[in-house]
Amino acid sequence: MSMLNSMRQDTDRIIGEWAKSVTIKRLSVSYNERGEPSPQWETVLQNGSETVDCDIQPVSGEIERKEGGVKVRHSHQAFFPYGTDIRPHDRIYRAADDYIVVCRVDEHDDHTFVYAQEPEL
């Protein structure tokens, strides 16, 4: 077994011990017979499953990062298993109507790290 695979397995085990099961949803648009858009949030399957384990941690207050001249605020950081299908603007549902919005995704050798923000009302 390679060292990288061993690191990924260790990370998956740690996430499994501390994590909660969440659902990732992505905005999808379909069109009716008149050509009108109908946006809906669809579950993103993770290896055939509707849920994935992750460890979500609030950060102390909101943190602003300047990326390419744009300020990005986030109030949570989340650790997912390596290769999790997640993109900016996706929603991470912790419960039926309790979610945070993905701001940024960093893919590392052994895990996926996400910055997220509470939704604006």
Question: Which residues are CB-contacts of 67 (< 8 A; sequence separation ≥ 6)?
Answer: 104
Average pLDDT over residues 84-95: 95
Predicted pLDDT of residue 75 = 87
Retrieve residue 64's tokens: 């602003």
Beta carbons of 59 and 77 less than 8 angstroms apart: yes
Predicted pLDDT of residue 24 = 97
pLDDT of 71 above 80 = no
Taking the model in full, what pTM does it have? 0.78
pLDDT, one tens digit per residue, over 39-63 is 999 999 999 999 998 989 888 665 5
Beta carbons of 87 and 105 less than 8 angstroms apart: yes
pLDDT of 19 above 80 = no
Cα torsion angle, 84, 14, 108, 98, sign: positive
Q: Which domains does the chain have, with CATH numbers?
A: 3-117 (2.40.10.270)
* Residue 96 CB neighbour total at 10 angstroms: 7
